[in-house]
Amino acid sequence: MACGDPKALAKIAILDPELTISQPRSVATLTALDALSHALESSVCTKRNPISSAYSRESFRLIASSISSILDGSATIEQRSRMLLGAAMAGSAIENSMLGAAHATANPLTALFDVPHGHAVALTLPHVIRFNTEDPEAASIYDDFSRYLGEPLIEWLENIIATAKLRPLSIDTSRIPELTAAALPQWTGKFNPRPITEADVTSIYHAALTVA
Ligand SMILES: [Zn+2]
């Protein structure tokens, strides 16, 4: 879901890392993966602009430099602060732009199969990034992230998701037509850098459900 009603906009955000210490590891993991997806999806969406891109870039740096410690439970207060600020800035990136096909294909997994949002988006994001890499401008933005990381973005991302040890899903591939039908009208998908067709969505689900 993406909510476009200004009444739903936060007026203030309290970013106190001490409040996250008692957060269950599973919640920290899934919200960190979601924040990462927000930084990456907003960075390439068709509504990106210099303001949103600055938020996307900085949020990615903050999240990338702290996510491993969040996932393995060793995060210091400083690392928790970086993740919190990164997550908030990724939210500002979305507010100033939009999301894309990873959210459009993740949302039906949540709506139809109760897959937590962060888990669903972690399943679809790598396949959407591979799909988007065919777009030269998106590929160049991903290259910037790869340079920052010192390794290809997709490899780093898949490694991060693997260390999250998400529980395997048992969604039969026979349900893909149902998922695809629910994904195609999703609002966020309209802002993906490459337009997505029914065949594209089907193959993203195939990859997400069989690899997972
Ligand atoms: Zn999300």
pTM reported for the whole predicted model: 0.95
d(CA 21, CA 19): 6
Of 197, 30, 44, nearest in space to 121 by CA: 30
Q: Are the C-beta atoms of residues 189 and 106 closer than 8 Å to each other?
A: no
111 C-alpha to center of ligand 1: Å? 14
39 C-alpha to center of ligand 1: Å? 10
> 76-120 pLDDT, tens per residue?
999 999 999 999 999 999 999 999 999 999 999 999 999 999 999
Structure tokens at 59: 């949020």
173 C-alpha to center of ligand 1: Å? 23
177 C-alpha to center of ligand 1: Å? 23
d(CA 39, CA 61): 9
Please tell me the number of Cα atoms within 13 Å of 124 on its side-chain side. 31
pLDDT-based confidence at residue 2 (cuts at 50, 70, 90): low
78 C-alpha to center of ligand 1: Å? 24
79 C-alpha to center of ligand 1: Å? 21
Protein residues with C-beta less than 5 angstroms from the ion ligand 1: 34
46 C-alpha to center of ligand 1: Å? 17
17 C-alpha to center of ligand 1: Å? 20
What's the mean pLDDT in 126-153? 98
Per-residue pLDDT at 140 exceeds 70:
yes
Please identify which residue in the block is written with the tokens 């850098």. 193
Average pLDDT over the chain, rounded to an integer: 95
150 C-alpha to center of ligand 1: Å? 26
